[in-house]
Structure 1
Amino acid sequence: MRKAIVELREHGYRTYEEIAALLDVGRATVSRVLRLHRESGSVAPRPRSGGNRSPIRGRIATLLVAIVSKMPDATVAELTEALEKEASISTSRSSVQRAIQRLGYSKKDPVRAVEQTRPSTGRGVASSARSSRR
């Protein structure tokens, strides 16, 4: 599709609207592809960025495990507050929630570790709760 957009532009189609109508894509798509071609000389998609890496790894992840052990009934918000205080870092509740899951704890009960040998099913709490009621 990207190559077709560039070829149509080079073969006389004057407006982005004409190209968009002919290929049944949005005008914004035509604009983005042609800008990419102008800037890079290619229509290959740009590499995806990696996003922000979690600060909760290594020593801080070990500290989080210790905090979860000391505060077994704590909410994720309380765990976040304790981790920020003890590790002198700034993080979010959702970052701590993801770290807890990466460390093998369940969403419902962070103190009960999920069996390390069991592969993840990729199902959330809601879907597993529904299947247990059947």
Structure 2
Amino acid sequence: MPAPLSVDLRQRIIAAYEAKEGSQRQLAERFKVSLSFIRDLRRHYRETGTVEPKPHGGGAIAKLTKEQLPIVAALVTAQPDALLKELCERFAQRTGVEVSVSTMQQAVCKLKLSVKKNTDCI
């Protein structure tokens, strides 16, 4: 997701709209933003009195915590030729937390380890 537009641009858009320098559609073209952005900005300004962007939502919570990385390292060390899918299953047995293959791959990369590649997918 791209970064929010600058507060300066938001203020200029609101000032131009209040000065009746054009319709919402014309202002969208002039400032090179979407019409929906103009509508949403006006609504946000009416409701809050500010043009500041809303705070970031935070995203998804990671299933694998930093405290669980040593468990992954131990699983890889115990059987370095295990497939990622097998590591996921063993991790779930040990911790009760089910993770996807991509999550396991990210954890293995974070630990700077390597595992056997699945040759069935090629």
Asked if 2 retains the 8 angstrom alpha-carbon contact of 1:80 and 1:92, the reply is yes
TM-score by length of 2: 0.72
Displacement of 1:41 after TM fit? 1.8
RMSD: 2.2
Q: 1:42 aligns to what?
A: 50
Unaligned segments of structure 2, at least 5 residues:
1-8, 117-122
Amino acid across the alignment from 1:74: A
Distance across 2 between alignment mates of 1:70 and 1:98? 19
Larger RCO (CA within 8 A; separation ≥ 6):
2
Unaligned segments of structure 1, at least 5 residues:
112-134
Amino acid across the alignment from 2:107: A
- 1:57-116 CA-partner distances (Å, limit 9, x unpaired): 2442221111111221122222112211221012222222222222222xxx348xxxxx
Amino acid across the alignment from 1:78: E
Question: What is the number of equivalent residue pairs in this alignment?
Answer: 108
Sequence identity of aligned pairs in percent?
Answer: 25
Asked if 1 retains the 8 angstrom alpha-carbon contact of 2:89 and 2:98, the reply is no
Distance across 2 between alignment mates of 1:90 and 1:31? 42
Distance across 1 between alignment mates of 2:79 and 2:48? 53
Asked if 2 retains the 8 angstrom alpha-carbon contact of 1:3 and 1:43, the reply is yes
Q: 1:18 aligns to what?
A: 26
**Kindly tell me: are residues 39 and 99 of structure 1, through their superposed partners in 2, closer, same or farther at Cα, counting changes over 3 Å?**
farther
Name which of 83, 95, 104 aligns with 1:75.
83
Q: 1:87 aligns to what?
A: 95
